[in-house]
Amino acid sequence: MKIYKTILLTAAVVFTTACQSKVKEQKTETTIKKEMAEAVKPTQEDLSNYETAYFASGCFWCVEAIFESVKGIPEVVSGYAGGTEDNPTYEQVGRGLTSHAEAVKVYYDPEVISFTALVQVFFGSHDPTTLNRQGPDRGPQYRSVAFYKNEEEKKIIEGYIQALKDQNVYDGDPITTQVVPFTKFYDAEDYHQDYEKKHPNNSYITNVSIPRLNRFKKNFGEYLKEKIH
List, for residues 145-154, the tens digit of each pLDDT value. Answer: 999 999 999 9
Q: Cα-flanking dihedrals φ and ψ of residue 213, to 5°?
A: -65, -40
pLDDT band at 229 (very low <50, low <70, confident <90, very high): low
Q: What is the mean pLDDT of residues 70-95?
A: 97
Q: Measured between alpha carbons, how far apart are the two ends of the chain, in Å?
A: 26
Residue 74 has pLDDT above 80, yes or no: yes
Helix (H, G, I), strand (E, B) or coil at 55: strand
**pLDDT, tens digit (0-9, with 9 covering 90-100), for 131-140:** 999 999 999 9
**pLDDT, tens digit (0-9, with 9 covering 90-100), for 46-64:** 898 999 999 999 999 999 9
pLDDT band at 27 (very low <50, low <70, confident <90, very high): very low
Alpha carbon dihedral 68, 50, 60, 214, in 10-degree steps, equals: -20
pLDDT band at 8 (very low <50, low <70, confident <90, very high): very low
Query: Does 59 qualify as catalytic in the annotation?
Result: yes
* 133: nearest Cα among 145, 142, 122: 142
**Where do the H-state alpha helices sit in 89-209?**
90-94, 115-124, 151-166, 195-198, 203-204
Per the model's pLDDT, the better-predicted residue between 27 and 229 turns out to be: 229
Planar angle of CA 112, 117, 5, nearest 5 degrees: 140
Q: Which of 13, 53, 59, 66 is catalytic?
A: 59
Residue 6 has pLDDT above 70, yes or no: no
Query: Count of alpha carbons within 13 Å of 176, Cβ hemisphere only?
Result: 17
Q: What is the mean pLDDT of residues 71-79?
A: 97
Q: Spell out the residues 6+ positions from residue 145 whose beta carbon is closer than 8 angstroms to its own.
A: 55, 56, 57, 81, 82, 101, 103, 177, 178, 179, 180
Q: What is the mean pLDDT of residues 59-77?
A: 97
Tell the burial category of 214 from Cβ atoms under 10 Å away from its Cβ (0-12, 13-18, 19+).
exposed
Q: Are 85 and 99 in contact (CB under 8 A)?
A: yes
